[in-house]
Amino acid sequence: MRVPFLAGNWKMYKTVAEAVEFVRSLKGALAGVQGVEVAVCPPFTALHAVARELEDSNIVLGAQNMYWEEEGAYTGEISPVMLKETGCRYVILGHSERRQYFGERDEDVNAKVKAALKHGLVPIVCVGERLEEREAGDTEKIVGTQVRRSLAGLSGTELARLVVAYEPVWAIGTGRTASPEDAQEVNAFIRRVLAGMGGEEAARQVRIQYGGSVKPENAADLLGQPDIDGALVGGASLKVESFAAIVRAALRV
């Protein structure tokens, strides 16, 4: 049984003070919640303070990115060792904004995934197609290539530890959402690709999230699909009420 996993990607929002105030309120809103895993992924500057605030809570910490080297002359980068020290359990890798704005390739994501696993972090590996690719009927071609290249060289055991997030680029921050049926179709396809890479048992264990304008109004329909094991939430994770409502929706399905 895959435990639903809801992760809030705060992107470049919230100062340290705002982040601490937010998680303090979120802890109260989710006190006693069981049967679902919840993570918040603040900016790097707030990780340490948020980690302290989350101690002895049912919410875990994630980061939004990292570099694949443990240390070195890489100005502005953050290593997996540094993330682990702050208390991170998860790290988002290969988000479409990293690919689009910062030129990250599948090969870069692959190096980061391997480094994260080596240091005991769980990667949330993002894949997804652009609108023109969907309209051309290339969704499976694009998403399949991203999955295979981003996760190349991993054993079935390593694959089973991952989280994959299907985030159609055309739905991120646009207010547009894939229909539950369309999202389920792609998530099921991703699971078949994973089975071909690491075996059926590993593929059954991988949690595959959906991301892209997830909000309280559509969360239950999306999370009720058999191959949608949670959500990577953007804008709606920036408000306690909306993020908590999405978590509660996961418990109802």
Distance CA 191, CA 182 (A): 14
The residues, ordered by sequence, that sit 6+ positions from 75 with a Cβ below 8 Å of its Cβ are: none
- 83-97 per-residue burial string, b: 16 or more CB within 10 A, e: under 16: bbebebebbbbbbbb
- Is residue 215 within 8 A of residue 237, CB to CB? The reply is no
Helices (H), the chain: 16-29, 47-53, 80-86, 96-102, 106-118, 131-135, 139-150, 156-160, 180-198, 200-205, 216-223, 240-252
- Is residue 3 within 8 A of residue 32, CB to CB? The reply is no
* DSSP for residue 44: G
- Is residue 59 within 8 A of residue 30, CB to CB? The reply is yes
- Is residue 111 within 8 A of residue 65, CB to CB? The reply is no
Strands 163-166 and 122-127: parallel
| Other beta carbons less than 10 A from residue 156's beta carbon | 16
Q: Which of 103, 102, 126, 100 is nearest to 113 (CA)?
A: 126
Just list the catalytic residues: 95, 167
